[in-house]
Structure 1
Amino acid sequence: MGELERSETGAAEVGVLDVVAYGIVVLQLALAGAKLRRLGDQVRSAYSYVEGCSASVDRLADQMAALEVDPDTVAEHREAAAVMRRALAEAERMAAVAEDLALGFANASATHEAEYGPVAEAARAMPVPMAHSAFYGNR
């Protein structure tokens, strides 16, 4: 009889671990999505600063040209502003990819919750210890 009790306790612990694992997966997916959204926001914030810098460098180049500074110096400033704008385009692409990934993680979390949430809730509400997950997999 002692062996049977140990077996039932082990099965119940495994069942509880399965339910906990479900919750952890849903939480991890949601957290990953939130982190990716924040990353997109941070990238956009950084490129807003660079956008202001490129406009400022363009204005400096215009001022230098008006003051008849040598053309090579003016051209270097215009090239620097152009490099900044290219970096902005790359940053925008990166932010868009991060947002797409965030949406994918949010969808994965919602799908996982929709598919397995009722099962996890039923397992939590069971009046008897849950069997080992392999038992349910064979049904």
Structure 2
Amino acid sequence: MSDLVPVIGGALQKTGSVIVGAVRFGIVVAQLTAASSTMAGLSNQVRSTFKYVEGCADSVDRLSDLAAAKAVDQSTINEHREAATVMRTCHEEAEAMAVECEEMSTLFHETADGHIADYGAVADAANNMPDGIDMADREFYSHP
């Protein structure tokens, strides 16, 4: 090996390992929090989009009633009523999807909280180690 290539070892290597571990911890918590927020936003977006579809179904029903009052052929009236039914079915399925997104958001949030509870103290201790005190091997801190 060339004399120009530094050899990392001892305290520098352990400090680097602590920094990498703390960064990983922070990244995992940030990613879980972002995923929770994204899923909550998706749930709201689905609900607002399909609230519009529900309004469309109501409008199509009104058109069906108007067509019936104007003696429009029954086939046309039935087609409008079927279209409104399909719209409502889509709305029900979208609501179920929005509920699933909310549940996923909650699970991501709970996972982030659990990760903080499991590893937060270790990350804090690692970030605040006094100079000259080496951290134990990473495996020491892992769950069995």
Task: Tell me the TM-score normalised to structure 2 length.
Answer: 0.87
* Equivalent in the alignment of 2:99: 96
Name which structure has the greater RCO, CA cutoff 8 Å, separation 6+: 1
Matches within 5 A, 1:1-139: 6-128=9-131, 130=135, 132-134=137-139
**Paired letter, 1:84:** M
**Paired letter, 1:67:** K
* Equivalent in the alignment of 2:3: none
Percent identity, aligned pairs only, is: 44
Q: Is there any run of 5+ residues in structure 2 with no aligned partner, and where? A: 1-5
1:75 Cα deviation (Å)? Answer: 0.3
**Paired letter, 2:138:** S
CA distance in 2, matches of 1:50, 1:130: 58
- Please identify which structure carries the higher helix content: 1
CA gap 1:72/1:11 in 2 versus in 1, 3 angstroms: same
Deviations 1:67-91 (A, max 9, x none): 0000000000000000000000100
User: SS where residue 72 of structure 2 aligns?
Assistant: coil
**Paired letter, 2:43:** G
CA distance in 1, matches of 2:125, 2:100: 37
- Aligned-residue CA RMSD in angstroms? 1.8
1:120 Cα deviation (Å)? Answer: 0.6
1:108 Cα deviation (Å)? Answer: 0.4
**Paired letter, 1:71:** Q
CA distance in 1, matches of 2:7, 2:64: 84
Task: Tell me the TM-score normalised to structure 1 length.
Answer: 0.90
Q: Is there any run of 5+ residues in structure 1 with no aligned partner, and where? A: none
